[in-house]
């Protein structure tokens, strides 16, 4: 949980238009549409942040989507959108709405707050709450070379690879059925920026200021260009080998 209301406010203000969220939300909705013809689905967004994904799902006709988050700031901003969001904790998923099961469970950029054993416990809890033929969709920070001020700002001290999650899912009785790193086409500039940020962190450049996340709107022209680039990447490189994030679809293993 990010203990910083300003970070949640930044997220709330740009989540419906920033290219990065657009790409993530498209991937989530694409996987739901590939797996289900109906929109009459029970969807859970675990650690939903300020509710941008839930809002997007609602606009696409998915009316039975709800979420939880451990941050009171996240819950507050989600409810500003009129969303069905309650307080809940990834470390105790079993306690959230006992007896309720879901066709789709999403968990984006939140599991890095947990230890390895806690991640497995959370995935096991997701598995227990999943309906037959249901899917779990997860996005997470990838590769330590992409660490930078963003990680400091959001309280992340972990990044992951696909092999990490293959171990977690095997222990949780799940299988990864689809995955991609992203944004592959922007890997080089992101890597250069984060390398510079780490250098400045080592030199103490942020001692008198608090590092902020990369959640900033770059203006319509740049945002539109980056979003167009992401649409090209989605079409031409549906499963990329490298990027600062890792997106996965999971199912109950046989």
Half-sphere CA count of 87, side-chain side, radius 13 A = 4
Phi, psi at 55, each rounded to 5°? -65, -40
Instruction: Give the predicted TM-score (pTM) of the model.
Output: 0.94
CATH code, domain with 44: 3.40.50.150
* Residue 165 burial (CB count, 10 A): 23
Residue-range definition of the domain harbouring residue 214:
5-252
How far apart CA 103 and CA 187 sit, in angstroms, is 33
Distance of CA 141 to the CA centre of its chain: 8
Write the pLDDT tens digit of every residue in 158-200. Answer: 999 999 999 999 999 999 999 999 999 999 999 999 999 988 8
How many domains is the chain partitioned into structurally? 1
Write the pLDDT tens digit of every residue in 37-94. Answer: 999 999 999 999 999 999 999 999 999 999 999 999 999 999 999 999 999 999 999 9
């Amino acid at each position: 949980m990010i203990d910083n209301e300003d970070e949640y406010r930044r997220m709330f203000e740009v989540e419906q238009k920033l290219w990065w969220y657009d790409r993530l939300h498209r991937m989530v909705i694409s996987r739901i549409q590939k797996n289900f013809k109906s929109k009459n689905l029970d969807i859970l967004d675990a650690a939903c942040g300020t509710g941008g994904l839930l809002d997007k799902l609602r606009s696409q006709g998915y009316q039975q989507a709800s979420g939880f988050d451990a941050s009171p700031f996240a819950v507050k901003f989600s409810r500003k959108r009129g969303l069905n969001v309650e307080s809940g904790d990834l470390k105790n998923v079993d306690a959230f709405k006992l007896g309720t099961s879901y066709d789709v469970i999403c968990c984006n950029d939140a599991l890095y707050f947990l230890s390895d054993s806690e991640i497995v416990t959370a995935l096991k809890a997701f598995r227990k709450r999943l309906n037959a033929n249901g899917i779990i969709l997860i996005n997470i920070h990838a590769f330590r070379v992409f660490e930078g001020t963003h990680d400091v700002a959001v309280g992340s001290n972990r990044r992951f690879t696909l092999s990490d999650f293959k171990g977690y899912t095997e222990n949780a009785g799940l299988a990864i059925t689809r995955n991609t790193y992203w944004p592959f086409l922007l890997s080089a500039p992101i890597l250069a920026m984060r390398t510079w940020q780490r250098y400045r962190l080592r030199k103490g450049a942020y001692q008198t200021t608090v590092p902020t996340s990369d959640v900033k709107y770059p203006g319509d022209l740049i945002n539109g260009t980056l979003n167009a680039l992401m649409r090209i990447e989605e079409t031409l490189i549906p499963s990329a080998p490298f990027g600062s994030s890792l997106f996965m679809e999971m199912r109950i293993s046989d």
